[in-house]
Structure 1
Amino acid sequence: MELSLMVFCTLLFGILSWKMNSLVQKYKTYIALYTSDKVIRFGKFHPLWGHIHLLVPLIKFQELAVKGMRETGKKITCYWLAFLYPILGVCHPDTVKIVLKSSEPKNKQKGGGYFTLLPWLGDGLLISDGKKWERNRRLLTPAFHFDVLKPYVPIYNKVFDIFLDKLDEASNSGQSIEIYHRVGLATLDTLLRCALSYEDNVQEQGSKNPYVNAVRILTNISLKRIMEPWLHPDILFKMSPSGRKYFKHAKYVHDFDERIIQERKQALAADPSLITRRRRDFLDILLTARDENGTGLTDREIRDEVDTFLFEGHDTTASSLSWAIYSLSKNPEEQQKVYEEVTKVLGNRTQVEWSEIKEFTRLTLFLKESMRMFSPVPSVGRITTKELDLDGLKVPANIEIYVLIHALNKREDIWGDPETFRPDRFVNDPEKDPYSYVPFSAGPRNCIGQNFALNEQKVALAKLVHRFKVLPDTDHEPEVDVDLVLRSVNGIRIKLERR
């Protein structure tokens, strides 16, 4: 008995020693990264909070990165998530290129906080990795071929006619109007109609629409959880008030999607020729896609991709489009150039045709500059699966890295005068590194729906400037904040004048 106890204690001591040694080695690596002369550090380290107390709201994270790179010229940032582990940020084309060119996935447990989205969005293209991501990316790519995108243009026109009519009605008093919420409703309306062929009077219902409300709540809780390490363990999160609220609204979103998916499956089963007699949408392609083995997506995979596309496709586009409208109001000379181009292309017509989108060259430059000034997605996360050399800094596997898109777009050594709105900077510049501007990410995991989003925004902005002159609200200035996308704490307000 005594011998058995001695053996047990010896094994236990050995395991604890091994674990402790592993932990010590891990923290030695972390400290080496943080103390390297290659990184920008954020203020004084707090033994409990690390640097979290310095980075809330999250826009401060990007502002500190911009300030640090201007003062030091360094290309990498580093801060601690509480006392748990350091997180790196890259904000120069040289380091951004290395991170984005590699196919390392966004780890579901760490990598940029994507684990907080997992119960809602599931294992779709945003979060999945490895062979599954490669397979599903191949299966979904046909959904964004121009033959599929082309029939969406009449839908863009219809949705934004409703949007403009509502703006017209709201601006009759001459008072300024808040547009971010209205734009979000329009982009969701677009996604539901294009991706699912589903019409639900989203813009008429406004914030009363339960799907709109659910997505807003899920987004807010997901971001908040990232900055609350005590809620990172799933069991603690599920027991918390915010966790219970999160799963309640995630269930609503999932039930909503599953109902539409099942109805479409039943319709196609009853009439297989249906898919050839009407416009094919995103859901049709998901349901009929087959890999090289003849295997399609499971019901859960289809739901995950629908959830991912509806969220990414409407929320990020809403951010980009809202800030573009704000940019129109603040830059009247550039707005006039866009208006003259749109008038030349459309004449007296109000409907934009597919063939005309490519003629909006000035509008395209304007939109690019707006996305540089106001990055719709301020950062994207990765986690290393092998050692990387970032500007001489040896980064081992399993280290979280953000690509700081907002900070990258504010580099003076790249943009010269980054705070000046100047669309002409995007006229062909052969010397500019393509990784200096990555609004849709880049490399193998770039945004699959970027052409869909750009086409939608160009149609929306063309129709807007064709009908209205956009003016600023001089009594209101938006307070920029970083959520999962770039938002304004106090909304975005403009005035409109009929042309």
Structure 2
Amino acid sequence: MGVWSFILGAVFLLLILVVICFLLYCGYIYYMHMKYDHIPGAPRDSFLFGHSPTIIKLMRNNMVIYDTFLEWAEKYGPVIRVNGLHNVMVLIISPEGVKEFLMSPKYTKDPFYKRIENLFGTRFMGKGLVTDRDYDHWHKQRRIMDPAFSRTYLIGLMGTFNEKAEDLVDTLGDKADGKCQVGMHDMLSRLTLDVIAKVAFGMELNSLHNDQTPFPRAISTVMKGMIETRNPLAMVLPGKQAFIRDVKENINLLRKTGQECIKRRMKAIQEGDDIPVDILTQILKGAELEDGCNQEDLIDNFVTFFIAGQETTANQLSFAVMELARNPEILTRVQTEVDEVIGSKRDIEYEDLGKLQYLSQTLKETLRLYPTAPGTSRVLEEEMVIEGVRIPPRTTLMFNSYIMGRMEKFFHDPLVFNPDRFHPDAPKPGYAYFPFSLGPRSCIGQVFAQMEAKVVMAKLLQRFEFELVEGQTFKILDTGTLRPLDGVICKLRPRAEHKSKK
């Protein structure tokens, strides 16, 4: 009896401790409510979980949570509270707020980026350019990387852009019979993967012709893993364990690929081979200039550029094809421009890109409706009044180009696809459009991405007519970046104009 009494007593004490901890945690949540409840926001789903049930439900149904946030912004104003357990984030839908926080280096990225540093306990992007929260360290990295994105170097990439885009149109040409159904997102993802691998790291993946390559699925899986981290219980839910293992395996695949690529380049340098001034060379140069930099730090930036350079451009191109196929008048207009500027020539020159004004407007309008990287966040360390609302110190602030791009107060008829919004003479709202972020931490690769997108789109428009297969929903899938849910399934036909010019 003595042993059983001891066990029962221990269990009883443990239960008391659990209850006390739970009550203390509830008290902390109540304190956070008191601290932030003066900020407008939708009613919480529950005292304990805040808005998390709504967000998780949207994720399970493949809905875009930013559409719900957009509804809240329309109803509750430009400063909105979002509760999740004890965490509170504040969504800022204000050009003045965007200008204040994104244009200044004094506001650091918030702890959300730690989830991308280490995904489910596995090192993912680490301290790469996207995730580095130490501004001084990030700035040092950025200066080192700048030569790989200089105008001179980018002009030198036109040959690769043309080569890989020509490979795509040749592949699509075999399917362009007006009957074969082509998943454009899949094809464009393979193309952009081949481009970034070649121009950034000197790798020939040839994924356009290799259905067995593991990289497209690996990138897609780890991006889905990023979304799952929005669920605070993801790590402990029994049904998620197999998926989490899959995410970790694919992270390890990407990092091992980076490790092998770095070793090959270091060997080439040691043997005195000619080395391009590409992203990989700059990553290694950074290691020489920074004390204490180890191989894992180098791999961080490999993974960062490998994913960012592939995913966002493929998504933008896919949405552009989708919208052009839905808007025949716009399609005809942009095809006419391509015919006038490019004609039937195979190699597009750098000087041609500046002449493709309407195509530029079309790509910008695509990013207004479908910013592939929809938002960013910052930490407010000191109390501040924003749009008449007092924000407590040490608050995470969220900024979202998707939401602002779809609001009538910033863009007339915001759901209408209209490239003329971006005509050079058209009035534009300040600080309401930031698909590549703004300020010192804006995307280093945005010029690279738009050059690549122009070359690819010009060749597609030069060669093909697009017809969307019926039954597609045109919904958006949020996988950390935004992509077309149904993959933009098209039937292609050769353009008569191009055939006649040949």
> Of residues 92, 95, 100 in structure 2, which corresponds to 1:93?
95
What is the rounded CA distance, in whole Å, between the counterparts of 2:26 and 2:152 in structure 1?
Answer: 54
Paired residue for 2:263? 262
What is the rounded CA distance, in whole Å, between the counterparts of 1:253 and 1:423 in structure 2?
Answer: 37
Paired residue for 2:252? 251
> Of residues 215, 219, 243 in structure 1, which corresponds to 2:219?
215
> Of residues 6, 10, 28 in structure 1, which corresponds to 2:31?
28
The aligned runs of 1:177-188 (5 Å cut-off) are 177-188=182-193
Using the TM superposition, give the Cα deviation of residue 378 of structure 1 relative to its aligned residue in structure 2, in angstroms: 2.0
Indicate if the aligned counterparts of 1:189 and 1:202 stay in contact, CA closer than 8 A.
yes
Letter in 1 for 2:141: N
CA gap of 1:300–1:310, structure 2 versus 1, over 3 A, is: same
Indicate if the aligned counterparts of 2:92 and 2:399 stay in contact, CA closer than 8 A.
yes
Q: SS of the residue aligned with 1:337?
A: helix
CA gap of 1:164–1:113, structure 2 versus 1, over 3 A, is: same
Using the TM superposition, give the Cα deviation of residue 27 of structure 1 relative to its aligned residue in structure 2, in angstroms: 5.1
Using the TM superposition, give the Cα deviation of residue 26 of structure 1 relative to its aligned residue in structure 2, in angstroms: 7.8
CA displacement 1:117-159 (0-9 Å, x = unmatched): 4721111011112221121111111211011111111111111
Indicate if the aligned counterparts of 2:113 and 2:131 stay in contact, CA closer than 8 A.
no
CA displacement 1:17-53 (0-9 Å, x = unmatched): 9xx99996785354432x22x5332x44223432122
> Of residues 181, 190, 195 in structure 2, which corresponds to 1:190?
195
> Of residues 143, 147, 159 in structure 1, which corresponds to 2:148?
143
> Of residues 119, 127, 132 in structure 1, which corresponds to 2:131?
127
Indicate if the aligned counterparts of 1:139 and 1:290 stay in contact, CA closer than 8 A.
no
Indicate if the aligned counterparts of 2:376 and 2:400 stay in contact, CA closer than 8 A.
yes
Indicate if the aligned counterparts of 1:174 and 1:495 stay in contact, CA closer than 8 A.
yes
2:83 matched to 1:80?
yes
5+ residue gaps, structure 1: 1-16
Indicate if the aligned counterparts of 1:375 and 1:486 stay in contact, CA closer than 8 A.
yes
What is the rounded CA distance, in whole Å, between the counterparts of 2:34 and 2:235 in structure 1?
Answer: 24
CA displacement 1:301-345 (0-9 Å, x = unmatched): 221111101111111111111101111101111111111111111
The aligned runs of 1:292-331 (5 Å cut-off) are 298-331=294-327
RMSD, matched Cα: 2.8
What is the rounded CA distance, in whole Å, between the counterparts of 1:429 and 1:166 in structure 2?
Answer: 39
- TM-score, with structure 2 as normaliser: 0.85
Please say which of residues 89-98 and 119-128 is displaced more in the overlay: 89-98
Q: SS of the residue aligned with 2:221?
A: helix
Letter in 1 for 2:47: P
CA displacement 1:88-117 (0-9 Å, x = unmatched): 212231222223123333234x35954554
| Aligned residue-pair number | 466
What is the rounded CA distance, in whole Å, between the counterparts of 1:296 and 1:193 in structure 2?
Answer: 29
What is the rounded CA distance, in whole Å, between the counterparts of 1:176 and 1:22 in structure 2?
Answer: 54
Please say which of residues 362-371 and 216-225 is displaced more in the overlay: 216-225
- TM-score, with structure 1 as normaliser: 0.86
Paired residue for 1:3? none
Please say which of residues 169-178 and 475-484 is displaced more in the overlay: 169-178
CA gap of 1:112–1:426, structure 2 versus 1, over 3 A, is: farther
Indicate if the aligned counterparts of 2:421 and 2:428 stay in contact, CA closer than 8 A.
no
Q: SS of the residue aligned with 1:177?
A: strand
CA gap of 1:214–1:474, structure 2 versus 1, over 3 A, is: closer
5+ residue gaps, structure 2: 1-19, 496-502
Using the TM superposition, give the Cα deviation of residue 245 of structure 1 relative to its aligned residue in structure 2, in angstroms: 2.7
2:354 matched to 1:379?
no
What is the rounded CA distance, in whole Å, between the counterparts of 1:282 and 1:387 in structure 2?
Answer: 40
Letter in 2 for 1:28: Y
Using the TM superposition, give the Cα deviation of residue 286 of structure 1 relative to its aligned residue in structure 2, in angstroms: 2.1
Q: SS of the residue aligned with 1:88?
A: strand
Paired residue for 2:400? 404
What is the rounded CA distance, in whole Å, between the counterparts of 2:292 and 2:286 in structure 1?
Answer: 6
What is the rounded CA distance, in whole Å, between the counterparts of 2:279 and 2:66 in structure 1?
Answer: 35
Please say which of residues 355-364 and 374-383 is displaced more in the overlay: 374-383
Paired residue for 1:51? 51
CA gap of 1:140–1:26, structure 2 versus 1, over 3 A, is: farther
